[in-house]
Amino acid sequence: MKENIKCLIIGSGPAGYTAAIYAARANMNPVLYQGTQPGGQLTTTNDVENFPGYPEGITGPEMMIQLQQQAERFGTDIRDGWATKVDFTGPVHKVWINDTIELHCETVIIATGASARYLGLPSEQKYLRSGGGVSACAVCDGFFYRNQEVVIVGAGDSACEEAHYLSKLCRKVTMLVRRDEFRASNIMEARVRKTKNIEILFNTETEEVLGDGQLVTGVRIKNNITGKTTDIPATGFFVAIGHQPNTDIFKGHLQLNETGYIINTPGTAQTSVEGVFVCGDAADHVYRQAITAAGTGCMAALEAERYLSSVELSTVE
């Protein structure tokens, strides 16, 4: 089964839906495949309070429903399914959906996002799903734990940056480092060590996230040298062990960095292949916010429209 498409958007979430809104309003007849997690990472977030335009806040799933409805209002064809293979070697950009549908696209906008890495503990996943105190984004959720005690797991630059951010909001931040040293840069490590309300526990791993069934109340930790376990009080448990961009199918077809993020031309959404654009967390390993994802979704759609116009103009000439 083959289908010709003017503008294909792969993935949903703030980036994909925003790209769809702009592409639809530009009469590009966008088709959007929602991917394996319709709505993206925000569907696992209970409260969103930092997205402009929602003075009372909004739940992540509700925001994604509204963005989808807005994209559909302007004519976006939103479909279930996910991209399983691509071929960007020729003048036509080919994308396969669920290994059965072959799409021939004039432009492609990639909005596949990234997935936060978690420890995988049953207790961690329980309170993550319930929204009871587990998070992978201090900037997103730290405000909810102001003047409280929290725990953060990680040893790299991102973990240090998030720990420092939390220290400005929380009464105490306990940082769990699995080894006897940081992986972070010297300047980030020094910043954490100098912060008085951050306690660093080396050679320490998480045994269990403790709670009352609804909310996190503490963390059971284990010293991996002595084997001693300890329960420490906490109302929030932050995981900062990295993100994995959902870009595997683009390896060998687009230029990616060493960790798998798609490389775009600075200041644009253009990838290494003409007519293929990227937005959101598939390229952004710095900010990873809904508002920045939406902004790059706008950029991708505008650039796709300009690309189509330039191709049409060259054909006429």
The 10s digit of each residue's pLDDT in 25-39 is 999 999 999 987 777
Three-state secondary-structure class, residue 52:
coil
| Reported pTM | 0.83
Per-residue pLDDT reduced to its tens digit, 270-314 = 999 999 999 999 999 888 899 999 999 999 999 999 999 998 766
Helix (H) or strand (E) holding 243: strand 243-245
CB atoms within 10 A of CB 157: 16
Q: Which domains does the chain have, with CATH numbers?
A: 2-115+243-316 (3.50.50.60), 118-239 (3.50.50.60)
Q: Is the pLDDT reported for residue 90 higher than 90?
A: no
Query: What's the pLDDT score for residue 316?
Result: 53
Angstrom CA distances, 40 to 45, 61, 121, stand at 10, 9, 22
Contact indicator for 252, 157 with CB cutoff of 8 Å: no
Q: Which are the catalytic amino acids?
A: 137, 140-141
Buried b (16+ CB within 10 A) or exposed e, 173-193: bbbbbbeeebebeeebbebbe
- For residue 291, CA distances in Å to 15, 29, 42, 159, 297 come to 9, 24, 12, 22, 10
Tell me the per-residue pLDDT of 159-216, one tens digit each, with 9 for 90 and over. Answer: 999 999 999 999 999 999 999 999 999 999 999 999 999 999 999 999 999 999 999 9
- Burial classification of residue 146, based on how many CB atoms lie within 10 Å of its CB (0-12 exposed, 13-18 middle, 19 or more buried): exposed
What is the tens place of the pLDDT at every residue in 6-24?
Answer: 999 999 999 999 999 999 9
Q: Which sign, positive or negative, has the C-alpha torsion 233, 238, 242, 247? A: positive
3-state secondary structure at position 31: strand
208-235 per-position pLDDT tens digit: 999 999 999 999 999 999 999 999 999 9
Find out whether 48 and 54 touch, Cβ atoms under 8 Å: yes
- pLDDT of 68 higher than 90: yes
